[in-house]
Amino acid sequence: MIRTLATLLALAAAVPAVAQDHSHMDHMQMPPAAPAQPTAQPAEKTTEPAAPAEAAEPTGTDQSPGSAPPPPVPMPHYADRVWGGDVMARSRDAMMAEEGGGQRFAQLLLDRAEWKDGGYAWEGEGWYGGDIHRLVVKSEGEGGDRLDAAEVQALYSRAIDPYFNLQAGIRQDIRPTPARTYVTVGVEGLAPYWFELNAAAFLSTKGELLGRIEGYYDQRLTQRLILQTRAELNLSAQDIRETGTGSGLTNAELGLRLRYEIAREFAPYVGVNWERRFGDTRRFGRAAGDDSGGIGLVAGIRAWF
């Protein structure tokens, strides 16, 4: 027992000494580095001249100019390899002509074939051609007990934009007599808000200058019922006593027609029409026993083929 107690006291006395020694230790201090060993100097290398590289062949614009033919142009159309360039070129030309307005069409339009108070009247045209170039034949006239007025026009029509055509040609009057032949220049087309317009100037072989402006508008009431308003003005630069035409505004015509399209190509109509002569034209007409105009009912058909 006594021996065990003496051993514990001895151990307790030894602990402060060990702790004191441990507290004076520098844990951050690194051990001294070992002395550097001398490095061996690399041995001197003997360099030998490199073998010259072989010169590359010049390409592209680095080549010297010459007279060799150029390489063939790549084919943009694969079908040329199968069917041949000439055959496919003709096919492409035909396709471009059709897509670019080169197709040919024909139409015959009887715009008015009508009965009116004490007489009849007609107006129509036929044309053949494409979207750009056309040959147009027009005719209109009126009469009662006799044929009072009749004319025929043969025109070349050329599209000047998507909506209007420039027209030029010949007009031949059959009535009134003496007959006249005119050179014709005019425009025809679709104005804004869907008004159909036609304006022309006529110069006769005798130097007489006439003018005409006409237009109409179709108001679709239903899919088959259409109300059309129409107006026409005729003018003259001088008096023409032989034909009963006075200078200035010679006559005007206003009409209102309601048509029913039994088919798109065939439509009967009824309406009212007002006509009036003016100035010397009215005076010449009265001297010949004709009235100066008035208002009346009309009925007729409109058809196209």
Element housing 236 (H / E) = strand 225-236
Provide the domain limits for residue 200: 105-304
d(CA 143, CA 125): 19
Chain position carrying tokens 């360039």: 85
Residue 109 domain flag? yes
Residue 88 domain flag? no
31-47 confidence digits (pLDDT tens): 455 555 555 455 555 55
Q: What per-residue confidence (pLDDT) applies to 64?
A: 79
The enclosing domain of 238 has a CATH number of: 2.40.160.40
Token code pair at residue 128? 């053949």
Residue 54 domain flag? no
Chain position carrying tokens 């001197």: 44
CA quadruple 276, 286, 201, 140: dihedral positive or negative? positive
Residue 18 domain flag? no
Residue 113 domain flag? yes
- pLDDT band at residue 67 under the 50/70/90 scheme: confident
- Gap between the terminal Cα atoms of the chain: 144
Element housing 106 (H / E) = strand 105-116
Contact 73, 80 (CB under 8 A): no
Residue 144 domain flag? yes
194-216 confidence digits (pLDDT tens): 999 999 999 999 999 999 999 99
More confident residue, 76 or 142: 142
- pLDDT band at residue 21 under the 50/70/90 scheme: very low
Token code pair at residue 169? 């040609």
Task: Give the closest residue to 128 by CA, choosing from 111, 103, 148, 146.
Answer: 103
Query: For 145-173, b where at least 16 C-beta lie within 10 A, e where not — what string?
Result: eeeeebbebebebebeeeeebbbebebeb
pTM: 0.70
Contact 224, 234 (CB under 8 A): no
Computed over every residue of the chain, the mean pLDDT equals 85
Residue 53 domain flag? no
Chain Cα centroid distance, residue 129: 19
Q: What per-residue confidence (pLDDT) applies to 52?
A: 57
Q: How many domains, the chain?
A: 1
156-196 confidence digits (pLDDT tens): 999 999 999 999 999 999 988 889 999 999 999 999 999 99
Query: For 35-52, b where at least 16 C-beta lie within 10 A, e where not — what string?
Result: eeeeeeeeeeeeeeeeee
The pairing of beta strand 225-236 with beta strand 248-260: antiparallel
Contact 247, 237 (CB under 8 A): yes
Residue 123 domain flag? yes
Chain Cα centroid distance, residue 305: 27
97-153 confidence digits (pLDDT tens): 777 667 889 999 999 999 988 799 999 999 999 888 999 999 999 998 889 899 999
226-237 confidence digits (pLDDT tens): 999 999 999 999
Contact 86, 77 (CB under 8 A): no
Percent of the chain at pLDDT above 90?
57
